[in-house]
Amino acid sequence: MFKIDPTSNRINPLEVKRFTDLGFTERKHLQEWLENYPQALTQGDGDELLIIQKEFDGFDDTRERLDLLAIDKEGNLVIIENKLDDSGRDVVWQALKYASYCANLKKQQVVEIFQRYLNQKAQNTGNEPDNAERVLLEFLQADDLQSVQLNTLKSQRLMLVAAHYRKEVTNTVLWLSQFGVNCQCFKVTPYQAGAELFLNVEQIIPTPEASDFMIGMMAKEAEEKSASNEQRQSHRLRLAFWEQALEAFGQSDCDLYNNISPGKDHWLSAGSGLSGMTFNLIFSKNEVRVEYSMARPQAEANQFVFEQLQVEKDAIESSFGAALVWMPLPNRKSCRIHYAMPVDGYDKANWPEMIQWLVDHMTRLEKALSGPLDKVRQELKTTNFSKEPGTEHDA
């Protein structure tokens, strides 16, 4: 790795260092970095991780402790093992043991493990703890815990992190991949240039190209599986609801959804004139919601827009007519502003009231954000973020 010197038009090599030479430790440093920025171990959009526990030792009949436990967007548990400068000989065996222990965890146990983690973090900061089930469902974009496929059979993933891997480790990981064991090796290398320190995180097994192929095969397998009766019923219910909702929006003063088709998801999105940032209608089992979502691939762009809007929070909420929920969602790429009404969404007798509520409140939200978003578009032109597509609505 090289550092570019634009003044001299030269490149200078960075000095490769060992973690121990820099005074960094596995537990206090590498583990802490990955806990607070798990995106370092993800490849591309949509491959997010949610850390649900660290130094987890809640296994029956053993006091062994895994470094980090996470969950991915598909509801798979992810076991993350860190070994600093050297992987050691037994890291794969250790990770496999943890995966076998975690394979027995039921949905409610996963929620309880996550809640203990949130409670501990809140205790450390003096804040009120988040509700684990709510945060989990938000991350998985699901209506309720019952409908979520969480920690299903043979779905556990392994992530190994080290600066150097022994041959017996890499050979074993490659052999396991032939049997469908999802195991990734990440090489972490610290660099130094003067007083500056840098960290490079590189997935070495499987290579990104092979990883894309494996993900494609798993997606094909999942697509070919027949959906459960409950899922099919949910899809039919949502489609019927959105058909009625869009008909009502077509007769209203809100034209956001004029060119949007009904679907089977629990949300409908309409563009706001800013790429990757949408006005969303949410229909779930327990509530309906209107929201403005900032979900570009660049977390910095989302945070920038969120902060610009938050400056005008009082004026926005005054125009909207109620206090909105402002969610910067730290350690996530996206940000959100929303307003919700609790309701039994799957009771069709409530649909007329719910649909009218969505029409009224989305009309108010779009109007309240119209002026501030115009200012944001102008501000974005002076930033280094990618060029905006104009004022057209992005679905």
All structural domains of the chain, each given as residue ranges with its CATH number in brackets, are 2-105+151-224 (3.40.1350.10), 229-380 (3.30.1460)
Of all residues in the chain, the percent with pLDDT exceeding 90 is 70
pLDDT of 155 above 50: yes
The beta strands (E) that lie in the chain are given as 2-5, 10-13, 15-16, 49-56, 66-72, 77-82, 157-162, 182-193, 196-205, 267-274, 277-283, 287-294, 325-327, 335-342
Q: What is the pLDDT of residues 110-139, one digit of tens each?
A: 999 999 999 999 998 888 999 999 999 999
**Residue 158: closest CA among 134, 182, 137, 138:** 182
Q: What is the pLDDT of residues 277-332, one digit of tens each?
A: 999 999 999 999 999 999 988 888 899 999 999 999 999 999 999 999 999 877 67
Angular region, 141: left φ>0, alpha ψ -120 to 50, beta rest = left
Looking at residue 311, its pLDDT comes to 94
For residue 220, name the pLDDT band (cuts at 50, 70, 90): low
Q: How far apart are CA 267 and CA 358, in angstroms?
A: 12
Side-chain half-sphere of 119: how many Cα atoms within 13 Å?
7
245 with 238: CB under 8 angstroms? no
Q: How far apart are CA 146 and CA 284, in angstroms?
A: 13
Instruction: Write down the mean pLDDT value for the chain.
Output: 88
Residue bearing the bigger pLDDT, 18 or 208: 18
Q: How far apart are CA 263 and CA 347, in angstroms?
A: 19
Contacts by 100-107, CB closer than 8 A, 24 or more apart: 101/59, 101/60, 101/62, 101/64, 102/69, 102/77, 102/151, 102/156, 103/151, 103/153, 103/154, 103/156, 105/77, 105/151, 106/151, 107/145, 107/148, 107/150, 107/151
Residues 6 or more apart in contact with residue 104 via CB below 8 angstroms: none
Task: Output the six-digit token pair for 373.
Answer: 């978003």
Query: Range with the lowest mean pLDDT among 128-132, 192-196, 266-270, 330-334?
Result: 330-334
For residue 228, name the pLDDT band (cuts at 50, 70, 90): low
Sign of the four-CA dihedral 120, 125, 126, 127: negative
pLDDT of 6 above 90: yes
pLDDT of 50 above 80: yes
Mean pLDDT of 87-113: 93
Classify residue 163 by its DSSP letter.
Answer: S
Task: Output the six-digit token pair for 335.
Answer: 């940000």
Query: Range with the lowest mean pLDDT among 192-201, 207-216, 320-329?
Result: 207-216
Residue bearing the bigger pLDDT, 55 or 211: 55
Classify residue 286 by its DSSP letter.
Answer: S
**Residue 341: closest CA among 295, 302, 289, 291:** 289
Looking at residue 147, its pLDDT comes to 85
For residue 226, name the pLDDT band (cuts at 50, 70, 90): very low
Looking at residue 379, its pLDDT comes to 84
Looking at residue 381, its pLDDT comes to 79
Q: What is the dihedral of CA 98, 102, 103, 109, to 10 degrees?
A: 170
- What is the residue-wise DSSP string for 311-363? HTHHHHHHHHTSPPEEE--TTSS-EEEEEEEE--TT-GGGHHHHHHHHHHHHH
Q: Cis peptide before 38, with omega less than 30 degrees from 0?
A: no
Task: Output the six-digit token pair for 185.
Answer: 């090796």
pLDDT of 394 above 50: no
Looking at residue 389, its pLDDT comes to 43
In 3-state terms, what secondary structure has residue 234?
Answer: helix
pLDDT of 239 above 60: yes
- What is the residue-wise DSSP string for 123-134? HHHTSPPPPHHH
Classify residue 14 by its DSSP letter.
Answer: P
Give the phi and the psi of residue 354 in degrees, each rounded to 5: -65, -45
Looking at residue 224, its pLDDT comes to 53
Classify residue 24 by its DSSP letter.
Answer: -
pLDDT of 336 above 60: yes
Looking at residue 64, its pLDDT comes to 80
Could you identify the residue written with the tokens 């900032």? 294
- Using only the alpha carbons of the chain, give its radius of gyration: 24
